[in-house]
Every structure is written in C-alpha cells, then in structure tokens.
Amino acid sequence: MVIKFWGTRGSIPVPGKDTIKYGGNTSCIQVITDNGENIILDCGTGIRSLGNYLVRTNHSFEKNLKIFISHTHWDHIQGLPFFLPFFQKYKIDIYINSKESMNLDEVLNAQMHEYFFPVNPDVFSANINFHKLDTSKKMTIDSVDIEMMDVNHSAGTISFKLSNERGSIIYMTDNEILYNAKDEEPTFNRIQELNGKLIDFCKGTDYLIHDSMYLYEDFKNRIGWGHSNNKSLSLFSILADVKNLIPFHYEPDYNDDILDKMVDQTKEYLQKENSKIYVMPSYESLEIVI
Ligand SMILES: [Zn+2]
Ligand SMILES: [Zn+2]
C-alpha cells in the first residue's frame, strides 16, 4: 500500500510562506491498496486537493472511495463539502465511530446548513453511504486489515491501524499521552502505567503517525486539551517499540523553523535513551510504501 499525506496540521489551516515545508492544510491522509482501492483518513482541508487529484487523474473512478473519520472535530471534517468526487458519479462510503452521538448524515448536513454554507448536500451527485464503525471488529479492505482503538481525546475519537503482510502503519492523531503533567516530567513508568492499552496497540508497528501538537516547553498551558508534546511522544514510541515515528497534527502557530526545532528535539529525546527509532516528520506530499 502507498500512504500519502495531504494535510498534516491541527486545528485550523495555516497557508503561507512560513508553512511551506510542512504544509498548512488540516488532517487528511490517502492510502492506496495494492489493487488501487482508496482509503481516506480524515477530511481536513487537505482532502480538497486530494479530491481534485482523484477526479483529474480519473483515479479509481469505477471503484469506491472509503473515508474513515477519526472524530468529527472541525479540523477533521472541514474539507468535506469541497471534496470534488462528491459532485461526480462516485460511490463513497463514510465510516465514523458508532459512539458518536450525532447521526452520521447529520455531520454533513449540519456543516452544510444554510447558516454555514450556501447549498445543502442535495447538490452532490455521488452515491454517499454512511456507516457506523464497530471499533471492536477488524475490517479488511482489499489486502489491508484495519483495526481501531479509542484514544485520549474527546469522547469517541479513534485511532486506526492499517496492516498488510508486509507491515503496518498507525494513524493516531488527536491523542494526549497521559502522565502527571502538572507535577512531573514524563517518565517511562508513568506513561506505561497510564497509556498501557495504546502502547500495546502500537507495539512493534513499522510507522506510527502520532499527534505531536506541542513542543514540550509549550505544553504546560495545554494540559488536558487532548494533544501531546514531543517529549512524552518520544518516550511513548520507545515503550511501543515502533520503527519509525511520524510526528503529525502540528500546532497552527508553529512555522517551519519551529517545526524543524521540534524534529531536532524529538531526535535528541530519542538519542538520549539510545533509541534507534527513525523520526520522519509528516509534510504535505510525503509518501510511504508498505
Ligand atoms: Zn484535530
Ligand atoms: Zn480533535
């Protein structure tokens, strides 16, 4: 499978000359299976360019597009009404955690209510079907197995693990790695104690895409906001024994220079623990092949 990044930013898009290297669009990742099926993870503003690309290249026109939504916070759905395949004869399946209290079609209807948008979903030509996810069950699309896990964020937020016979990648955006952040530095013991289930879920994965919203030094004012800092993420990654760490969902106020610093710091945190984990920061157009 090929994994391609179309949006790596958290909270709000931040286009401009200061965010060219890592990108300004909010969360969206495309996964293409070995037989050309498209799995899309989240619908931040990055999905607009992805949709244009799919239509322009006639990519998988005869096939379904399958969209998996980690949760319905604005930065993970705000690109949906601008997704060009909705306006074409595609068959699109949208999957959201069944714990979401909002009815699934309401997510789209609500963001296209006349208070917020000039037209409603009736303008779409695609055959759009909504599905509730049962996070306890494994799904298989083409040759890719998909497993899910609840994370430490607003209720109903989930992570996805995609694997085939060659390896695995985990998409864990919007997750706060827990420790006693008000009183102590992150430690292996505390992180293991408070995040054991998630560490088990990530154990030995080839690629971990994970929320790295804040530098450690900026985290003290953001405890409990549902996002992680790069120091706790480094320790978490060591405990989970991942091969490659992909920081993701960057704080919108961080320009490219600050993100360069974050990447360097993350490498230092890992080296200090003699870890061999490779840090591969996400940026728009990054591609990985498994
Ligand atoms: Zn987010
Ligand atoms: Zn969120």
Tell me the ligand closest to 154's alpha carbon.
2
Q: In angstroms, what is the span from residue 80 Cα to ligand 1's centroid?
A: 15
CB 126 within 8 Å of CB 118: no
* Digitized pLDDT (tens) for each residue of the chain, 290 residues in all: 999 999 999 999 999 999 999 999 999 999 999 998 999 999 999 999 999 999 998 766 566 899 999 999 999 999 999 999 999 999 999 999 876 566 778 888 888 999 999 999 999 999 999 999 999 999 999 999 999 999 999 989 999 999 999 999 999 999 999 999 999 999 999 999 999 999 999 999 999 999 999 999 999 999 999 999 999 999 999 999 999 999 999 999 999 999 999 999 999 999 999 999 999 999 999 999 99
Q: In angstroms, what is the span from residue 72 Cα to ligand 2's centroid?
A: 7
Query: What is the distance between the alpha carbons of residues 132 and 114, in angstroms, rounded to a whole number?
Result: 26
Tell me the ligand closest to 211's alpha carbon.
1
- How many domains in the chain? 1
CB 86 within 8 Å of CB 128: yes
Domain interval for residue 253: 2-289
Please report, for the domain that includes residue 132, its CATH number: 3.60.15.10
Q: In angstroms, what is the span from residue 64 Cα to ligand 2's centroid?
A: 27
Tell me the ligand closest to 72's alpha carbon.
2
Q: In angstroms, what is the span from residue 153 Cα to ligand 2's centroid?
A: 7
Q: In angstroms, what is the span from residue 243 Cα to ligand 1's centroid?
A: 24
Query: What is the distance between the alpha carbons of residues 91 and 125, in angstroms, rounded to a whole number?
Result: 9
Tell me the ligand closest to 251's alpha carbon.
1
Q: Which helix (H) or strand (E) holds 57?
A: none
Query: What pTM was computed for the model?
Result: 0.97
Query: What is the distance between the alpha carbons of residues 266 and 190, in angstroms, rounded to a whole number?
Result: 19
Q: In angstroms, what is the span from residue 47 Cα to ligand 1's centroid?
A: 14
Cα angle for residues 133, 6, 120 (degrees, 5° grid):
60
Tell me the ligand closest to 44's alpha carbon.
1
